[in-house]
Amino acid sequence: MAGNSFGNIFRVTTFGESHGRAIGGVLDGCPAGIPLDLELIQKDLDRRKPGQSAIVTQRKEPDQVEIYSGIFEGRTTGTPIGFAIHNTNQKSKDYGHIKDSYRPSHADYVYDQKYGFRDYRGGGRSSARETASRVVAGAIAKQFLKGIEINAFVSQVGTLKMEKSYLELDLKTAEDNIVRCPDQEMAVKMEEYIKAIKKDGDTIGGVITCVATNVPVGLGEPVFDKLHAELGKAMLSINAVKGFEYGSGFEGVTMKGSEHNDPFNTDGSTKTNHSGGVQGGISNGMDIYFNVAFKPVATVIQGYQTIDKEGNLVQTQGKGRHDPCVVPRAVPIVEAMTALVLADYMLLSRVNKI
């Protein structure tokens, strides 16, 4: 209710500020008996962590997760899984310049207005550092969802848009390049473009596409907790996200019903999939796919004018070590949130019938 929990049954609560002692969380409602491979958790954290390539922030954080509870003899026990990632690289002095002034298009101003003051170090709670906790919980969700495949990848950077359908590509190859785009030619262009943006001290937006396959029929809780509505909320809760569309999305607006409808095959599957795997808010067994729009990171390494707490105009300059484009590191976050929604809705679907 106070905003730091996600999920109904399979439910994660996170805590932690960018430059506090630790971030972490509690995953409650995870069923007992799941064999947990801790290395898979760390692997997803490594995909998200800073410093992993030339096109992401060069901060160094090991992001080593410690699990405190809920696992016994290698399996989940059904009790809450508490975990923490200690912050080790807290250069608080880097952020002195934002203590008294509000960076444009950051959360500085609204946090001060809402709470009366704020932990200004590195963005505090509004920093995307918080998403590391989501990745931990999501990695556990993935192991519960055995058999369901979730693959997210970068499909657009600025105006560079992958034109191929995801069906023509091997999505696993997204991990073969540092942009995380499964179209290798496009990936090269995107990488070059991000490097140029970085050189200018500027930033650029992007789109992540996510595909979930082998999702069983029947997930979704109409009328308010429709599967795609919860997925949408999950995605929009990620830092810098400005939009969400699934299936035909905004393009579908221009189609006629006679074109848009997905005809059935005799096994209940459909010949086309404009629906994006969800009908009436309930999964229909087809691939679930959706796009997530990320704005350009607000921190630009350029001089700019802004205001301080008293409303005076001040001249300042972006500092710190930030990402020129957030999407390559956001891929595992999108997957994690998708896994959390699916795990929760898998459990919810167990109570539909007598």
- The annotated binding site for NADP(+) is made up of 48
Shortest distance in whole angstroms from residue 171 CB to a second copy: 20
Spatial separation of the C-alpha atoms in residues 9 and 345, rounded to whole Å: 8
What whole-number distance in Å separates Cα of residue 332 and Cα of residue 47?
6
Q: Among the candidate windows 44-52, 167-175, 181-189, 220-228, which touches a second copy by CB under 8 A?
A: 220-228
- For the chain, first and last CA: distance in Å? 30
- Taking phi first (over 0 means left), then psi (-120 to 50 degrees means alpha), and beta for anything else, what does residue 320 get? left
Considering only residues 335 to 354 of the shown chain, the ones binding a second copy according to CB under 8 A are 347-354
Min CB(299)–a second copy separation in Å: 7
Q: Does the protein bind a second copy through residue 61 (CB under 8 A)?
A: no
The binding site consists of 48, 125-127, 239-240, 280, 295-299, 321
* Interface mask toward a second copy for 100-119; x: CB under 8 A: --x-xxxx-xxx-xxxxxxx
Distance CA 350, CA 354 (A): 10
Beta carbon nearer to a second copy, 165 or 263:
263
CA gap 298, 349 in Å, rounded: 40
How many CA atoms does the CB half-sphere of 167 hold within 13 Å? Answer: 7
Stretch that binds a second copy, among 21-29, 56-64, 89-97, 171-179 (CB under 8 A): 21-29
Nearest of 253, 250, 248 to residue 270 by alpha carbon: 248
Strands 22-28 and 160-161, bridge-based pairing: unpaired
Q: In residues, how long is the chain? A: 354
The pair of structure tokens assigned to 284 is 């229909």
Rounded CA-CA distance 150/244 in Å is: 17
Q: Which of 17, 44, 61, 191 binds a second copy (CB under 8 A)?
A: 17
User: Using CB under 8 A, which of 192, 261, 317, 319 touches a second copy?
Assistant: 261
Indicate which single residue of 45, 63, 70, 341 sits in contact with a second copy (rule: CB under 8 A): 70
Residue with smaller CB distance to a second copy, 75 or 172:
75
